[in-house]
Structure formats: C-alpha cells, structure tokens
Amino acid sequence: MEVLKSLGLSTNEIKVYIALLKLGSASATEIMRKSEIHRANVYDALEKLMERGLVASVLRVNKKYFECAPPTNLHAILREKENELSKILPELEAIYNQKKSKQEIQHFKGREGIKAVLRDINNYKMYDAFGISSNIAKVVGYYFQQWIRERIRKKLFARMIKARGDALNTPRIYGMKIYKNLFHVREIPKEYYTPTSTWIYGNKVAIILESVENPLAIVIESEDVSDDYRKYFENMWKNAEEEDISIYKEIDIA
C-alpha cells in the first residue's frame, strides 16, 4: 500500500487495482464486491487507473469488463514523476546554491533524515569513517541494501574504522568479495566504541547517532573542519589494526 501510494495512487485506486489483479478480468460489480468499495467510487478509481495506463476495458457480449495491464506499467508512472522532477531540479538547485554558503551546518532527525545523509554520501567517490557499527543497517532498515547496491553500481570506496569484534552487515548480505572491493576496514578495541559515527566526504563531515530509537545527524560543510577531521582520521588509521575477518565464519572469505 505504502509503495503504491508513493506513486500517487489513492487508497481506493490501490484497492481496486489489487482486487482486479486477483480477479483477472471482471465487471465493475465483481470488482465492487472484491474490493468492498462503493460502486460510484469503483468507477471513479477505474477511470483514474485507465488514465494511468494500469487498467483497460473490454466489451464482451455488450458488457464492459476490466483487466489490469502488466504491473511493469507502474514503472511508467515512476518515470513520469522523475521527468517532472528533472524539469524543476535546475530551479531548485539554483535556490539551494544561493543559500548554501550561509548554511554550513544541517540537522537531520529520524530514519528518513539518516537516509538523506547516506544518499548525500553516495554522491562522493569515497568517504573515511570511524565509529562505524552494524547499527546503521538497523537504523535505516531495508534502505541499507539499496545504499550498498548503489555503491556497487557506482564503484565507490571507503575506509572505515570500527570496534573489534563487531560484524558488519555488508559481508553477510553481499559476500566477502564485494565487501573487500567496497571497503578497507580496520579495528580499534571495543572499549573505544561509541554509538556516534563520523563520516568524512568531500568538504563535509557527518556525525550520526546510530540509535534505532532516536537517530539523528549533523552535517558540517566546511573545508577547514573536513581537513581537521581527515587528519584525525589518518592518525587513528595508522594506529588501528586490520580487521579480523574470522568473525565472519559462516561466509566464504576466499
């Protein structure tokens, strides 16, 4: 329901669409019974679904029946939205850049806020991070897999420092080969672990509280600040140990 709503379909349209998918080919009356929606609302929903190219009508023995188009047509709606967004992006970027120099610190709250920061990180070729833990995947849920897939597609790389013994999620999901291609990981003793991770990318520093209950992040955009954090990271990197991959016992480490 939520995914289809994000494409702009109303609750009634979704219920009618799902009912028709299950019925295959049906009259408005049959759809009304299956979807448990009032007849007038069924016709209204069918009309809108036909306009979107998701439903077609056919005449059989002077009676109108409705059928679903292939669900892959949903991609057309997504492409249309992307095209609409592309038209206004230059104007939005111009507005954003006008105030960019004044807004050096941004605050992000909740899971969607953390996802926004991660999306921004994937706009850069690489990042350095310390305080990283397996909690980040719990914070953003399934989006973590999408995020990693994008890094694979863009061939992005990262150096990370984590607590010794903390098994990260990427090797378990994508295997050790992809993990090694994406990340160079070193470890520090567990007693130095903090639930706050620091990500350095471009001229930005993101400080993320990887709390499942109350995640939040601060992004600082500054050449001086990012340079200082990089120096700090390099010092930690020199003193950290290579990750002990024996913690991923169940994974083929070849």
Cβ atoms of residues 66 and 20 within 8 Å:
yes
Q: What share of the chain is helix, strand, coil (3-state, %, to 5)?
A: 55, 25, 25
Tell me how far apart the alpha carbons of residues 199 and 206 are, in angstroms, rounded to a whole number: 5
- Determine the pLDDT at residue 237: 96
Cβ atoms of residues 165 and 188 within 8 Å:
no
Average pLDDT over every residue of 184-207: 90
- Determine the pLDDT at residue 251: 63
Residue 221, SS3 per DSSP:
strand
Q: Could you tell me the domains of the chain?
A: 2-69 (1.10.10.10), 103-247 (3.30.870.10)
pLDDT digits (tens, 9 = 90+) for 128-153: 999 988 888 899 999 999 999 999 99
Residue 159, SS3 per DSSP:
strand
pLDDT digits (tens, 9 = 90+) for 154-178: 999 999 999 888 888 888 888 888 8
Confidence tier at 127 by pLDDT (50, 70, 90): very high
- Determine the pLDDT at residue 250: 66
pLDDT at 103 over 60: no
175 or 185: which leads in pLDDT:
185
* Tokens representing residue 65 in the block: 């029946």
Beta strands per DSSP E along 111-250: 126-132, 157-163, 183-188, 196-201, 204-209, 216-221, 241-242
pLDDT at 100 over 60: no
pTM: 0.61
* Tokens representing residue 87 in the block: 């038209």
pLDDT digits (tens, 9 = 90+) for 2-18: 888 888 889 999 999 99
**Exposed (0-12), middle (13-18) or buried (19+): which is 121, by Cβ within 10 Å?**
buried
pLDDT at 102 over 80: no
